[in-house]
Chain A
Amino acid sequence: MQKIIIYSSSLCMRALLEGLLYDCGAEVCVATSRQNLFDRCAAERFDKVVVGETALFMEGCDTVERIRPCGAREPEILVFAPDITEECVMSLLERGVNQYVSLPVVPARLRRKVFGV
């Protein structure tokens, strides 16, 4: 079974992502803070990390290295955020994010992207 962790600094965004990814045959966890996300990624093996904001990757911290210790290529990182500029999307991809999905999103399309179903 796939293991997915969700993070956003906004309570409502966490709840939204958790609800949209509900009951898809995967184990979905929620990180309540940045440090909680990094600690859990270091302690457990996740297949996907779903982040509900871009600020985590834009503030100079080594986010991707802390999510993927030892230079691994997993977990896959998906970022969901409102429409942003092409430059910002390119910056995210250069930092190691695998996919960027702009909001608003069609629920079925989101589930296909995350779970491939």
Chain B
Amino acid sequence: MILFLLSTLFGSLILLLLPRRQRAVRRAEYVRRISIYVSVGYEFGTFTLRNIASPTDLVLLAEAVAYVSERVRGTGVKPLREVMEHYALERRLVDRASRRRGVERAYALALLARMPLSRATSERAYALFGEDDDRRVRFYALLCGVAGDRDFVHYVAAFRPRFTRYEMAEVVALLCREVCAVAYTPLVRSHNYNLCMLGISLVRRMDAVEAERELRRVVVEGTGCLRLEAVYVLASLRGNLSGVALRRWIYHRPRSERRSLCRHFVRSGYSIHTLRALFGAEECNEAERMLNTYKCRIA
């Protein structure tokens, strides 16, 4: 009896895993063919695969295009657009998103957002799904809007509720994908939470030391998470941490947060004198212990 149950379980596992493995191999083959086309095949005619008929094939092809699109830029984008137009991927994915609900709809939009979209498709996706009840769908509809439209500010400003850290990271990754110039100063100065947080995240991503003055303004005048994030980023840039306002703010933080800030300041390379001006004896003792270990490099 036990042997029978074990063999049934084992068989079910094989049936579950085998198609997944086959899908992974097929997806990798699509990636290989697409990257050959992107690299050299563009000059030699249109891209062809065997007929993409089933929904599974469509999703695998979309995943392969999205995978290559995230890792290739510049002259590699035009061949990808050719592949997308040849298989009508944009229209078919938007149709798929329309027919599905919940996480499957969000996944179709996520795939779209990772591709080099046309402006028309990005606007259509945002118009159809930007007000969906599901937060994940709304977020990926926003990413579609940002992916196809360089004027992304109104999309980000309109998103409700506030971005989580993971959502913000995805938006920043998308904006930096094409290495285009994004003006972070107006974003950091904005009174909209999402835009200000996006600006601070971009400053961190680009190591923009020129933004120190704007960050200090947020440190002095900002509130809540914005202020905390600005302090962390300012420290990462080894900016000026002097000032009564900052010292008073740190004093009123919870203990765990003070210790975390102190560790971050130590790792960023601030001296013990700077830390003594900001923290109490407990944090300073821990900072000295850290400075005396191999965990910190002293310039």
Contact = CB atoms under 8 A, between A and B. Distances in A.
Contacts of B73: 104-106
B92 interface: no
B72 A107 contact: yes
Given A11-B25, A12-B67, A14-B28, A106 B74 contact: yes
Contact of B35 (A15, A104, A109): A15
| 3 nearest CB pairs, A to B | A19-B35, A106-B74, A15-B32
B34 interface: yes
A83 to B, nearest CB: 8
Contacts of B72: 20, 104-107
A20 B70 contact: no
Given A11-B24, A106-B76, 5 more contacts: A11-B25, A19-B35, A20-B39, A103-B71, A104-B73
B29 A16 contact: no
A35 B244 CA distance: 58
B94 interface: no
A108 interface: yes
Given A11-B25, A104-B71, A105-B71, A19 B33 contact: yes
B31 A19 contact: yes
B97 to A, nearest CB: 23
26 contacts: A11-B27, A11-B28, A12-B27, A12-B28, A12-B31, A12-B64, A14-B28, A15-B31, A16-B32, A16-B68, A16-B71, A18-B32, A19-B31, A19-B32, A19-B35, A20-B35, A22-B36, A22-B40, A23-B39, A103-B70, A106-B72, A106-B74, A107-B39, A107-B72, A108-B74, A109-B74
Interface in A75-117: 103-109, 111
A103 B74 CA distance: 12
A14 B24 CA distance: 12
B70 A104 contact: yes
A51 B38 CA distance: 20
Interface of B is mostly: helix
Nearest to B37: A19
B177 interface: yes
Interface in B71-100: 71-76
Contacts of B74: 106-109
B75 A23 contact: no
A30 B38 CA distance: 20
Contacts of A107: 35, 38-39, 72, 74-76
Interface of B: 24-25, 27-29, 31-40, 64, 67-68, 70-76, 177
Contact of A104 (B24, B27, B39, B177): B177
Contacts of A111: 39
Interface string A12-54: 1011101111110000000000000000000000000000000
B6 to A, nearest CB: 29
A23 B71 contact: no
A38 B244 CA distance: 58
Nearest to B178: A104
B45 to A, nearest CB: 15
Nearest to B27: A12
B40 to A, nearest CB: 5
Contacts of A15: 28-29, 31-32, 35
B67 A19 contact: no
A16 B75 contact: no
User: Which interface residue of A12, A105, A109 has the most chain B CB atoms within 10 A?
Assistant: A12
A105 B70 CA distance: 9
B138 to A, nearest CB: 27
A29 B71 CA distance: 21
Contacts of A20: 35, 38-39, 72
A18 B68 CA distance: 12
A106 B76 CA distance: 6
Contacts of A104: 70-73, 177
